[in-house]
Amino acid sequence: MTRFAVFRNANVAEGLMEGSVHMGEPVECESALIRLSGTNLDTVWESLCAETILSSSDPTRVDRRIVSRTRIMRLIKEIDQLERRHARTVQIGQRNRLWDDLQAKRHELEQEQQGETL
């Protein structure tokens, strides 16, 4: 098994506040292929990053899509934590507050997922 990794610089305009290393999903060594496309080095780099980080050959707005994917992963984790806290809580006032928080996070996740597909 192997994983590809790339370093993306900060792009504040797209919401990527700091540079960081991004790793792709693990793949079998025999099937680990990256297709390079583009007419200049910038577009080739964007294509390489999109394929490595997002598993997509579409190099458009890579930083924005990375930010969206990161938000979605964070929201899924927060929703899972809220669901567990809600299930454990017995006080009705706290359960209601947690339920409201949970619904707000679910709505935020839905909005982010719709924004990602546009």
Segment 37-51, tens digit of pLDDT:
888 888 888 898 888
Segment 15-64, tens digit of pLDDT:
777 788 888 888 888 877 888 888 888 888 889 888 888 888 788 888 88
Q: Structure tokens of 85? A: 């806290």
Position 106: which residue type? R
5 and 55 housed in the same domain: yes
Number of domains within the chain? 2
16 and 35 housed in the same domain: yes
What's residue 79's pLDDT?
96
56 and 98 housed in the same domain: no
**79 class by beta-carbon count within 10 Å (0-12 exposed, 13-18 middle, 19+ buried):** middle
**Residue ranges making up the domain that contains 27:** 1-60
Question: In angstroms, rounded to a whole number, what is the distance separating the alpha carbons of residues 67 and 15?
Answer: 6
Segment 56-107, tens digit of pLDDT:
878 888 888 888 888 899 999 999 999 999 999 999 999 999 999 999 999 9
83 and 117 housed in the same domain: yes
Of the pLDDT bands very low, low, confident and very high (cuts 50, 70, 90), residue 13 is confident
Of the pLDDT bands very low, low, confident and very high (cuts 50, 70, 90), residue 117 is low
Question: In angstroms, rounded to a whole number, what is the distance separating the alpha carbons of residues 114 and 117?
Answer: 5
What's the pTM?
A: 0.74
What's residue 116's pLDDT?
64
Q: Check pLDDT > 80 for residue 14.
A: no
